[in-house]
């Protein structure tokens, strides 16, 4: 099954990818890998989840933010790769930054919102290495930011 058919089956519509607001680019392809810039939880052109885990943002909202970050990663890849998402051989690594308080401990559960979706969409190709950490603040008060390393 093509990745597009699988996305349709899951009811996921890829958004128009967010344009970087500076001199960097969303995706660089080099040496058989694609490096995807950190993506925020954008939905319909706006940040969907802002604030901190542990101070007002509930676990479910954090998981939704992580899921949206991954959808934005995929939208960037779809736009940047000549063959679109069907060129993805492996999701090698996801890096998850969770805006959180000092006493928050459920970062891994938040990040599962992205990891579970990666495997739902890509199957075994979607099983990635990952690092998940807390941060005090993210650009534009986003609740989560996720970057990706993709094998082509």
Interface positions with its own copies (CB under 8 A)? 21-28, 30-33, 35-38, 52, 54, 89-90, 92-95, 97, 99-108, 111-112, 115-116, 118-119, 126-141, 145, 147, 149, 151
| Residue 77: CB minimum distance to its own copies, A | 12
Residue 25 backbone dihedrals phi, psi, to 5 degrees: -125, 160
Q: Name which of 45 and 136 has its Cβ closer to its own copies.
A: 136
Helix (H, G, I), strand (E, B) or coil at 136: coil
* Cβ atoms of residues 138 and 100 within 8 Å: no
| Residue 67: CB minimum distance to its own copies, A | 13
| Residue 37: CB minimum distance to its own copies, A | 4
CA distances to 94, 99, 124, 126, 128 from 119, rounded to whole Å, are 12, 24, 7, 5, 9
């Amino acid at each position: 099954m093509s990745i597009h058919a699988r996305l349709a089956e899951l009811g996921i519509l890829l958004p128009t990818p967010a344009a970087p607001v500076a001199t960097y680019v969303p995706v660089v392809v080099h040496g058989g890998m694609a490096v995807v810039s950190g993506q925020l939880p954008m939905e319909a052109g706006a940040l969907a989840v802002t604030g901190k885990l542990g101070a007002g943002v509930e676990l479910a909202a954090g998981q939704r933010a992580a899921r949206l970050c991954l959808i934005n990663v995929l939208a960037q890849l779809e736009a940047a790769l000549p063959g679109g998402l069907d060129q993805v051989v492996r999701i090698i690594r996801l890096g998850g930054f969770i805006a959180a308080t000092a006493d928050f401990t459920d970062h891994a559960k938040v990040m599962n919102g992205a990891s579970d979706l990666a495997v739902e969409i890509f199957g075994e190709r979607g099983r990635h290495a990952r690092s998940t950490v807390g941060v005090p603040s993210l650009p534009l008060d986003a609740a989560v930011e996720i970057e990706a390393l993709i094998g082509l």
